[in-house]
Chains A and B, each alone.
Chain A
Amino acid sequence: MSKEAIVSFVNAKKTFKTKGKEQVAVRDVSFDVKEGEIFGIVGKSGAGKSTLIRLINALEKVDSGKVLVDGKDITKMNYSQLKHIRKDIGIIFQHFNLFDSKTVFKNVEFPLKIQSKELGLSDGERQKTVLELLDFVGLLGYEKHYPSELSGGQKQRVGIARALATSPKILLADEATSALDPETTVEIMRLLKKVNKEFGITIILITHTISVVRLICERVAVMSEGEVVELDTYKNVFKNPKSDAAKSLVNVFKILEGDGSLHE
């Protein structure tokens, strides 16, 4: 028995119009992400990865096609339905997007306050939740710190705690480690793996390098010019890339990781 789809793209299409010029960001994409998996989306920058992932929580709206989240079409929702489903979709960003004017505690508490009607937590329960989350990401004791006092890795940990606050079913990660050094990248990936294992949260992870995908993803979609040109297990894509985009990504990975070299 295969697991159920938690996110489905059905002929999703998104075009941006800037100054009269049309830029297709996502062009007729259809695929499923299954419940509980860690799914990677790789591709060069400008391939349309961010736009695609932002269709899932409706930060962008499709021009045509459907995006089903937990079986419900997110493209047809009004604000209150969107608010409800956004509780189930956490997101972390490349540049963290923490609220600089708020303490670590207040950052993590923010989604709980926004969703207070849906969650119905008392002040005490809310406080307990925040502290549990900070403990989970290894930042207990940092409640009163401000984001500017933290390292990049710590900031992303706060981002993760904040994204998990409302107990989402899905966690979206948009280049979550692209601004971090390799060691911190591994730490954060380890943490994401733990999120997936302990809470069974589906993770959809975007990256422009295959090395990040290799760390934790089971299946990967390779994107190029707004299209998914290849979709398979990480192992198959890595061993036997079929599309030009996948071949190029694997090739670059091998050069950078030591299998290849630019020396003559």
Chain B
Amino acid sequence: MSSLFSAGKTDWSIIGPALIQAVQETLYMVMLTLLIGGILGMILGCILWSTRKGSIFSNPALYKVLEFIVNLVRPIPFIIFLSAVQPLTITIVGTSLGTTAAIFPMCIFCTMATSRIVEQSLINVDYGVIEASYAMGASRLKTLFWVVIPEVMPPLVLGYAFIFIGIMDMSAMAGTIGGGGLGDFAIQYGYNKFNPIITWISVGIILVIVQCIQQFANFLAKKLLQH
């Protein structure tokens, strides 16, 4: 303990394994959130888009309710949202501490954010192609899955990269409730121990992960946009 307290001195035999564990925890939280929240957000986003007035399953009442919920949750600062849903987290996950417990509020937040991005992408689809699809005999669901979603793949891919960065941000905050990960690592071994090198190492790793994802998304979107 005392050796870690000495500023500037970095004991790699302790910090090395802790760093590796932190990276693993971050990736676990982020990937699982992206998977669950990303899929639920996609579904919610499609429902939002298609229940808009004049859209394919036009249902203004349902739309208003869903929009209200999404708009209610999204502006809450995540760190406050974390403690606000703590009772719910305990009910569903069994505990409010640890990496898995952190994923629950992250997924809720991710679902809300993703739904809005999906909805915004879908809004840009020209109604003409939807009509063309109907005119050929396609049902509304087939039109959604075979026409509308494929048409917005490039902006969706970029939207998901944006979401990914948001999840990295959330995962760092989730670290404070025992979620672990790089954010927690940076605070515990860097900030609290007056060791900026550790903090900067965490920052560097986060930047590398984010950049990799962003570059991959750009590449994919460009590939999809080539036509």
List the B residue with the shortest CB-CB distance to A146: B227
CB-contact partner of A86 in B128, B136, B153, B226, under 8 A? B136
Chain A residues 184 to 204 lying within 8 A of chain B, measured CB to CB, are none
**Binary A-proximity of B133-177 (CB < 8 A = 1, otherwise 0):** 111111100100011001101000000000000000000000000
Quick check: is A87 within 8 A (CB to CB) of the other chain? yes
- The answer to whether A86 touches B151, judged by C-beta atoms less than 8 angstroms apart, is no
Cβ of B132 within 8 Å of any chain A Cβ, yes or no, is yes
One digit per residue, 1 when the CB lies within 8 angstroms of any chain B CB and 0 when it does not, for chain A 89-126 equals: 10101010111111100000011011100000000000
Contacts of A93 in B (CB 8 A): 128, 131-132
Chain B residues lying within 8 Å of A1, measured Cβ to Cβ, are none
The reply to whether A91 and B132 form a contact with Cβ atoms under 8 Å apart is yes
Contact between chains at B151 and A115 (CB < 8 Å) = no
Check B79 for interface membership: any CB of A closer than 8 A: no
Residue of B nearest to A100 (CB): B151
Bound state CA distance, A89 and B132, in angstroms?
12
Inter-subunit contact A101/B151 (CB<8 Å): yes
Q: A95-B128, A114-B142, A146-B227 are in contact. Are A101 and B135 (CB under 8 A)?
A: no
B149: nearest residue on chain A (CB-CB)? Answer: A101
Interchain CA distance A57-B133 in the complex, whole Å = 12
B126 contacts partner chain A, Cβ-Cβ < 8 Å: yes
Q: Which residues of A contact B136 (CB under 8 A)?
A: 86, 110-111, 114-115, 162, 166
Task: Give bound CA distance, A97 to B147, whole Å.
Answer: 11
* Cβ–Cβ contact A97 & B227, under 8 A: no
Give Cα distance in the complex from A86 to B150, angstroms.
Answer: 23
Q: Does A59 contact B (CB under 8 A)?
A: yes
The answer to whether A97 and B137 touch (CB under 8 A), given A146-B227, A149-B227, is no
Interface contact A114-B135, CB-CB below 8 Å:
no
In the complex, A147 has a CB within 8 A of chain B: yes
| Given A101-B150, A102-B150; A59-B126 close (CB under 8 Å) | no
**Which of A79, A91, A95, A114 has the largest number of chain B CB atoms within 10 A?**
A114
**Minimum CB distance partner of B147 in chain A:** A99
- Chain B residues with CB under 8 A of A98: 129, 132
Instruction: Give the residues from 60 to 83 in chain A that come closer than 8 angstroms, CB to CB, to chain B.
Output: 79, 82-83
Query: Is A23 located at the chain interface by the 8 A CB criterion?
Result: no
Please, which residue of chain A has its CB at the minimum distance from the CB of B226?
Answer: A146
A148 contacts the other chain (Cβ, under 8 Å)? Answer: yes
Q: Are A115 and B135 in contact (CB under 8 A)?
A: no
Q: Classify chain A: how many residues form its interface, as a range.
A: 20 to 34
Are the C-beta atoms of A99 and B227 separated by less than 8 Å? no
- Mark each residue of chain A from 50 to 62: 1 if its CB lies under 8 Å from any CB of chain B, else 0: 0000000101000
Q: Bound complex: CA of A202 vs CA of B137, how far in Å?
A: 19
Contact across chains for B135 and A91 when beta carbons are under 8 A apart: yes
> Could you tell me the distance in whole angstroms from the C-beta of B55 to the nearest C-beta in chain A?
15
Residues of B within 8 A of A97 (CB): 126, 128-129, 131-132
Q: Is the CB of B131 within 8 A of A59?
A: yes
CA distance A86 to B136 in the complex (A): 6
Pair B129/A99 contact, Cβ less than 8 Å? yes
Contact among B129, B137, B224, B227 for A111, CB-based, below 8 A: B137
Bound together, the chains give a CA A149 to CA B147 distance in angstroms of: 19
Which of A57, A91, A99, A166 sits near B150, CB closer than 8 Å? Answer: A99
The 8 A CB mask of B58-80 against A (1 = contact, 0 = none) is 00000000000000000000000
Residues of B within 8 A of A166 (CB): 136-137
Expressed in whole angstroms, the minimum distance between the Cβ of A149 and any Cβ of chain B is 7
Given A59-B131, A111-B136, list of 17 further CB < 8 A pairs? A59-B134, A79-B139, A82-B137, A89-B135, A99-B147, A100-B227, A101-B224, A101-B227, A103-B227, A110-B133, A110-B146, A111-B137, A114-B137, A114-B146, A115-B137, A146-B226, A166-B137
Q: Please report A residues at the B interface, Cβ cutoff 8 Å.
A: 57, 59, 79, 82-84, 86-87, 89, 91, 93, 95, 97-103, 110-111, 113-115, 146-149, 162, 166
Binding site for A on B (CB under 8 A): 126, 128-129, 131-139, 142, 146-147, 150-151, 153, 224, 226-227
